[in-house]
Chains A and B, each alone.
Chain A
Amino acid sequence: MPGRLISTGRARAFSTAGQQAMPVNASNDDPDRARRFRDAALPHLDDVYTLARYLLREAADAEDAVQECYLRALKHFDTYRGPAMKPWLLAILRNVCRAEFARRASSPAAALDELPDDAAPTPLWHEAQETPEAQVLRQRDASAIRRMVSALAEPFRETFVLREIHNLSYREIADIVEAPVGTVMSRLARARALLRSAWTAEQEQPK
């Protein structure tokens, strides 16, 4: 994969997004508010990081996005009235990631790796880089499944991860990805159909 991000580009993208918009509210310094935010938001850090890893793939990008997500969440914590904290944070994270996708798409320095929405013809299953022997050993284990999920095109991967890993309902997913519930259902159906083909292909690999 070509280098997608120059590191200065990444730092700029995330830090400016964090500083723009509203001036820092005086209540940001309120220790009580900070503690409430900490208690409510930090328990979901692994969930937020997991989604970031599946959306952005690279660990360093995911970490930056998660940090930016928490900065934004703190900024808007005063206006937070629900839904539950986890979907709220995940929705913010998704917006951070989408801003990053948009930046990559418009930046000539960064290679665009995002797939178009109608990614049906995209070959899901690439010949693996590992040797066939190693692959047989790893068959069906976590890393294989993880790789198959990571190979899904973006809208399908996102929906699949929110459903299967974060255990959110269709309604909660629909709110996060800003799409109708029907769209969530069809994306999930598509995601699972693609995974099933990959799954079957893997099982039919010569032993």
Chain B
Amino acid sequence: MTCDEAEVLLHALLDGELDAGHAREVEGHIAGCPHCAALLADYREMSKAVAGADLRHTAPPLLRRRIEASLPQTQAPSRRMVLRGFAMGSAVSALAATGLVAIVLRNDDEQRILSEVVSAHLRSLQAGHLTDVVSTDQHTVKPWFNGKLDVAPPVVDLTAQGFTLIGGRLDYIDARAIGAIVYRRRQHVINLFVAQTASTERHAARTETIQGFNIRRWGDRGLNYWAVSDIATDELNEFGEKFETATAG
């Protein structure tokens, strides 16, 4: 390998883009070439400085609001009309009503999504389509989702804690593809649905029962989770806590 070639390829080496064979070749050249070795060291140092400098920009709040305003409204008009009645009067009550719209609609949406989650859980049990990828290995299940979703669902093996990972599946909730990670507790199946959300706040877990199924939902770092199963509430909570502990940090 010539220095000219190495000077280009060492960037791919730095970025982890070379396959093992080429990586060895470039490393071989660098080992015998002080010039290229010095270059690589410089680029490494530069890369570190660039990463540490925080070169990102933050979108101005006004721009965010402009874009939000340009999107079609997501509230259902009928409900908005009803609530607008309450808002007549002072600016204070108008503000209060805005909060009320958000609360009422969010609950409404959440109920619909919860029943969809239960339907998806039932489908997965009935149709013999529990998993698209069957593996007890989190390092097989996690990459399987790559390219299929716009999120990377965290996949953790909780076998040691009594919940066996059995695979993953693509499902549809709220008319979009979302990831389902499937666990087994004794003879019971737990579907853990994971979807992206605009909110990055942490939402504490809440448990509900719909059609005899228990659902534990929570939100963490831009992802919403729904764990659905016919196991008892306390066991489902145990599952959720183990999962949250394993994915924390």
A: which residues have CB within 8 A of B?
Answer: 28-40, 42-43, 45-50, 53, 59, 62-63, 66-67, 70-71, 74, 82-86, 140-142, 145-146, 149, 161, 163-165, 169-170, 185-186, 188-189, 192-193, 195-196, 199
Pick the residue among B15, B75, B196 that contacts A40 (CB under 8 A).
B196
Min Cβ gap B108→A in Å is 12
**25 A–B contact pairs at CB < 8 A?**
A31-B73, A34-B73, A34-B74, A38-B74, A39-B198, A40-B150, A45-B64, A46-B57, A46-B59, A49-B63, A63-B66, A67-B63, A70-B67, A70-B71, A83-B147, A86-B150, A145-B55, A161-B55, A163-B15, A170-B15, A170-B17, A185-B12, A185-B17, A189-B8, A192-B46
Chain B residues whose CB sits within 8 angstroms of the CB of A74 once the complex forms: 71
Chain A residues whose CB sits within 8 angstroms of the CB of B46 once the complex forms: 192, 195-196, 199
Pick the residue among A49, A67, A85 that contacts B150 (CB under 8 A).
A85
Chain B residues whose CB sits within 8 angstroms of the CB of A45 once the complex forms: 59, 63-64, 67
What's the count of A-B pairs with C-beta under 8 Å?
A: 128
Nearest A residue to B149 by beta-carbon distance?
A84
Chain B residues whose CB sits within 8 angstroms of the CB of A70 once the complex forms: 67, 70-71
B: which residues have CB within 8 A of A?
Answer: 7-9, 11-12, 15, 17, 39, 42-43, 46-47, 49-51, 53-60, 63-64, 66-68, 70-76, 147, 150, 174-176, 196-198, 200, 222
Nearest A residue to B7 by beta-carbon distance?
A189
Chain B residues whose CB sits within 8 angstroms of the CB of A43 once the complex forms: 196, 198, 200, 222
Whether A46 pairs with B76 at a CB distance below 8 angstroms is no
Whether A66 pairs with B53 at a CB distance below 8 angstroms is no
Whether B59 pairs with A188 at a CB distance below 8 angstroms is no
Alpha-carbon distance between A4 and B180 when the two chains are bound, in angstroms: 51
Whether B176 pairs with A164 at a CB distance below 8 angstroms is no
